[in-house]
Amino acid sequence: MWSNLPLFPARASNMAGHVDALYFFLVALAAFFTCLISALILFFAIRYRKGRSPQATQVHGSTVLELMWTGIPLAIVMVIFVWSSVIFFMQTRPPKDSMEIYTVAKQWMWKFQHTEGQREINELHVPAGRDVRMIMTSQDVIHSFFVPAFRVKADVLPGRYTTTWFHATVPGHYHLFCSQYCGTQHSEMVGEVIVMDPADYDRWAAGGVDGSLASAGEKSFQQYGCSMCHRSDVAGRGPNLVGLFGKPVLLDDGRAITADESYVRESILNPGAKVVSGFKNIMPTFQGQLSEEEIVGLVAYVKALGNGTANLPLPVSQPNSGDYPVAPKAEPSAVKSDQAAAPAEKPTQPTPVNPAAKQ
C-alpha cells in the first residue's frame, strides 16, 4: 500500500545507507529530546504549581547535575560531528580508478561528456557497480547536481570545476534535479540518470562514438597552436605537459600546487594567474574564445598526456621563430553563416594595373 506513497527516495548507491543512517539518528535524537523536554515541562508545571508550593525555596547548585547537562550534550554533538565528517570525506574522495564524466550546466539543461566520446543532454548513462566521478562546471550561474536516489548533491559553479562521485548499485532510471535556484525556468532543469548493467552499458557506449574526448582535445591543441610552445622537449616556450597532470608544479612566486582540472582550466583562460617557474608570462588568454566543450577536451587531453594514453604534441619546424601564439579567431562555420546572412554586394570591376608598375 505504501508503493504509491514513497516517504523516501530509493536507495541506489553505496552511500545511501550511510546517509540514511545518520539522518534517522538525527531524527530519533530530535524526537527523543522533544518528548523528554515536553514531559519534564509538564511534570514540573504540575509538581511545582502554585497551589501545591505557594512559597518558593532556594535551590543550591549541583556539580554532578551541571557536569551531566554539559557532558551529555557534548558527547552527543561529538558523535554527530565525527559521524558526519566520516561521511563527508567518503563523499569528497573518489576512488582513483573512477570512471570520469565531464558536466557542463547551463540555463536550463545538463550536458554530459564521457571520456570515451559520448555526449548527452539531460540524460546520463552509467554502469552499475562502478565508481563514477563527476567533474562539473557552470556556463552561467550557480547550479547544483542532485540525485536523491544516490544521496548525492554538489554545487556547480561558474569559472571553476567542482567534483562529486557516486557508486550506483541498482539498475534503473533515477531523477536528476538542480537544487539551486538558477532562474525563471529552474523547475524545468531536470534530467535522468540511467543505471545499466555493465554489459548493456558497454553495448551502449560502443555505438555512435567518433573519437574519445582526449582525441577531440588533441585536435584543439593542434588547431590553436598550443604545440608551438608546449612541446614534448626542452625547446618550447611553455612548460612540457607530458606527465604534468596530477604532479606538483612550482610557480614563479615560490608556491607549489597540484596540476588538477581546475589548474589546467585556469591556465587556459587566465594564464597569468599562476606562471610556472622558469617561464615568462607570454601565453595569451583564451577567455571567451573557447566553448566549454573545447575546454573540457583540452583538459582531458592534458590529463591523457599525464598518464601516457595520448599522442605527444606534434612538433613545429621552428619553435623559436615567428610571432607568439594568438587567441583563436571565429570558427570558419560561424564566419560562413555570417556571410550567408549578410546581403550580397555588387561585384566590382578589377582595377587595371599599369604594366610599368610591376617592374
**Burial call 291-303: b when 16+ CB within 10 Å, e when fewer:** ebbbbbbbbbbbb
Task: Check: CB of residue 91 under 8 Å from CB of residue 169.
Answer: no
pTM: 0.75
pLDDT band (50, 70, 90) for residue 21: very high
Task: Check: CB of residue 153 under 8 Å from CB of residue 145.
Answer: yes
Give per-residue pLDDT as tens, 91-102: 889 888 899 999
What are the residues facing 257 on neighbouring strands? 249
Q: What are phi and psi of 262, to 5 degrees?
A: -65, -35
Write down the pLDDT at residue 13: 93
What are the residues facing 164 on neighbouring strands? 134
Over residues 223-247, mean pLDDT:
81
Half-sphere exposure of 83 (CA within 13 A, CB side): 15
pLDDT band (50, 70, 90) for residue 244: confident
Going from N- to C-terminal start, the domains of the chain cover 16-46+61-92, 99-206, 213-350
Write down the pLDDT at residue 339: 39
pLDDT band (50, 70, 90) for residue 342: very low
Q: Which CATH class is domain 213-350?
A: mainly alpha
If one looks up domain 99-206 in CATH, what number appears? 2.60.40.420
Write down the pLDDT at residue 308: 65
Cα dihedral 100, 220, 258, 311 in deg (nearest 10): 80
Task: Give 316-336 as a DSSP string.
Answer: -S-TTSSPPP------HHHHH
Write down the pLDDT at residue 228: 81
Give per-residue pLDDT as tens, 261-315: 888 888 888 888 888 888 888 888 888 888 888 888 888 888 888 776 667 776 5
User: Locate cell 574526448: which residue?
Assistant: 213
